[in-house]
Amino acid sequence: MVAAITAGAHAEHGMNSLTILPEIAHQHVSFEDGLVLDCGTRIGRLDIAFRTYGRLNQARTNAVLVCHALTGDQYVAEIHPVTGKPGWWDSVAGPGLPIDTDRYFVICANVLGGCMGSTGPLSPHDEGSGCWGTDFPPITIRDMVRAQKRLIDHLGIGRLFAVIGGSMGGMQALEWAALYPDAVFAAVPIATASYHSAQNIAFHEVGRQAIFADPDWQEGRYWQTGRAPARGLAVARMCAHITYVSEQALTRKFGRRLQQAPKSSQEAIRLFGDMFEVQSYLHHQGSAFVRRFDANSYVTITRAMDYFDLAEEHGGDLADAFRGTRTRFCLVSFSSDWLFPTEESRAIVRALNRVAANVSFVEIATDRGHDAFLLDERDFHRTLAGFLGGCAEHANL
């Protein structure tokens, strides 16, 4: 059963999550029959908040699903309603851009577990009053993809022309191709991996522990008091942010530059506390983040990433995830990405080769690290535009 697309679900439910994040009437669709999760729990009501750009063609064959990363959301190519900043991929998706909205119908949904309108820890609890909070069930990348599939079905789209995403978005693109091979004409997993590594799990764990150490965490029930664990969440963000950039990029952008020139070496040492530009840059990353993100969502989504292991879902051999696939793949990695190194993309390419899949692979030379997929990287944009253009010919778009 599918409700009409409505706005303002939070307001409807009279939630007090409003004290945690700004109240915004996100465009969304509600599925009153809910969703059964990998953990066995059924969520009674599934809301999927989403945005679209461009027009769906008559044959409904030009839809491109963009999957966002851990801290991204559905505001791909427009002003973000909380931050007032341009969309996170407005250099990639838009008229005449690599994901050309004059040609493709672009869809992006806030992930299940998120905090921008889709069902997540800040949503009303199925039973009783208040939010799910820490009672929100553990979710997987596959659960996120199943939720997106409901939206795609609702929109009457039988086959997506492409599923595209970076980082956790790339995990979703891989999962889409594995779970719904006939519904994905082309897949572009960018700066990603088929499983989360021990080091990546460790960094996520540090972030979660920072959140749990904040007294405002209140065992995850902070929405009851309206005091969110902003300091812990900011520390989590700062730690994660370091992993998103390369050592070279940090050195190039900040090096050991000081925030203000001290008059003497004695004064320099006294300014210690907040001395280097890289420190205030990190502080800014932390404080900007907590205004738009929920700590329980952060915990929920990082755990979903940590748990992701596509080979494990298919008996231990990654190739078995893609056996018989007709999807066209383009894997993209960035040379200085140490969070999802090129080697992890190569491993996916090898698995795809073993099932004779149609796959191309490009490592983009850049010193900007993992975040390069969000930045103005011309080689990457040319790769993406070229691959999509070639696929469009094959798809008779």
Rama region for 378: left / alpha / beta (φ>0; ψ in -120 to 50; rest): alpha
Instruction: Pick the closer one to its own copies by CB: 26 or 204.
Output: 204
Diameter over CA atoms, the chain: 71
Of the residues 1, 127, 272, 316, which one makes contact with its own copies according to CB under 8 A: 272
How far apart are alpha carbons 274 and 91 in whole angstroms?
33
Region 362-391 residues binding its own copies, contact defined as CB under 8 A: none
Residues 39-68 as x/- pattern, contact with its own copies by CB under 8 A? xx----------------------------
Instruction: Pick the closer one to its own copies by CB: 54 or 133.
Output: 133
Q: Is residue 209 at the binding interface for its own copies, with CB under 8 A as the rule?
A: yes
Kindly name the residue from 80, 196, 204, 370 that is annotated as catalytic: 370
Size of the site for its own copies (CB under 8 A): 55
The CB-of-41 to its own copies minimum distance in angstroms stands at 9
Q: Is residue 4 at the binding interface for its own copies, with CB under 8 A as the rule?
A: no
How far apart are alpha carbons 312 and 118 in whole angstroms?
27
Q: Is residue 265 at the binding interface for its own copies, with CB under 8 A as the rule?
A: yes
- Active-site residue, 337 included: yes
- Active-site residue, 13 included: no
- Active-site residue, 336 included: no
Of the residues 115, 157, 178, 234, which one makes contact with its own copies according to CB under 8 A: 234
Residues 172-201 as x/- pattern, contact with its own copies by CB under 8 A? -----------------------xxxxx-x
The CB-of-315 to its own copies minimum distance in angstroms stands at 12
The residue range among 62-70, 113-121, 160-168, 300-308 that interacts with its own copies, by the rule CB under 8 A, is 300-308
User: SS in 3 state form for the chain?
Assistant: CECCCECCHHHHHCCCHHHCCCCCCCCEEEECCCEECCCCCEECCEEEEEEEECCCCCCCCCEEEEECCCCCCCCCCCCCCCCCCCCCCCCCEECCCCEECCCCEEEEECCCCCCCCCCCCCCECCCCCCECHHHCCCCCHHHHHHHHHHHHHHCCCCCEEEEEEECHHHHHHHHHHHHCHHHEEEEEEECCCCECCHHHHHHHHHHHHHHHHCHHHHHHCHHHCCCCCHHHHHHHHHHHHHHHCCHHHHHHHCCCCECCCCCCHHHHHHCHHHCEHHHHHHHHHHHHHHCCCCHHHHHHHHHHHHHCEHHHHCCCCHHHHCCCCCCEEEEEEECCCCCCCHHHHHHHHHHHHHCCCEEEEEEECCCCCHHHHHCCCHHHHHHHHHHHHHHHHHCCC
The CB-of-33 to its own copies minimum distance in angstroms stands at 20
> Regarding beta strands 93-94 and 184-190, do their DSSP bridges make them parallel or antiparallel, or are they unpaired?
unpaired
Q: Is residue 356 at the binding interface for its own copies, with CB under 8 A as the rule?
A: no
Instruction: Pick the closer one to its own copies by CB: 253 or 394.
Output: 253
Of the residues 31, 161, 203, 244, which one makes contact with its own copies according to CB under 8 A: 203
Of the residues 138, 181, 262, 386, which one makes contact with its own copies according to CB under 8 A: 138
Q: Is residue 353 at the binding interface for its own copies, with CB under 8 A as the rule?
A: no
Kindly name the residue from 17, 118, 167, 345 that is annotated as catalytic: 167
Q: Are 362 and 383 in contact (CB under 8 A)?
A: yes
Kindly name the residue from 47, 143, 337, 371 that is annotated as catalytic: 337
The CB-of-27 to its own copies minimum distance in angstroms stands at 30
Instruction: Pick the closer one to its own copies by CB: 226 or 389.
Output: 226
Q: Is residue 335 at the binding interface for its own copies, with CB under 8 A as the rule?
A: no
Check the CA dihedral 132-137-140-145 and report its sign.
Answer: negative
Q: Is residue 288 at the binding interface for its own copies, with CB under 8 A as the rule?
A: no
Q: Is residue 255 at the binding interface for its own copies, with CB under 8 A as the rule?
A: yes
Instruction: Pick the closer one to its own copies by CB: 256 or 378.
Output: 256
Rounded to 5 degrees, what are φ and ψ at 216? -75, -5
By annotation, the residues acting in catalysis are 167, 337, 370
Residue numbers of the site for its own copies (CB under 8 A)?
38-40, 138, 140, 195-199, 201-203, 205-206, 209-210, 212-215, 231-232, 234-235, 238-239, 242, 247, 250-251, 253-256, 265-266, 268-270, 272-273, 275-276, 278-279, 282-283, 286, 303, 306-307, 309, 312, 338
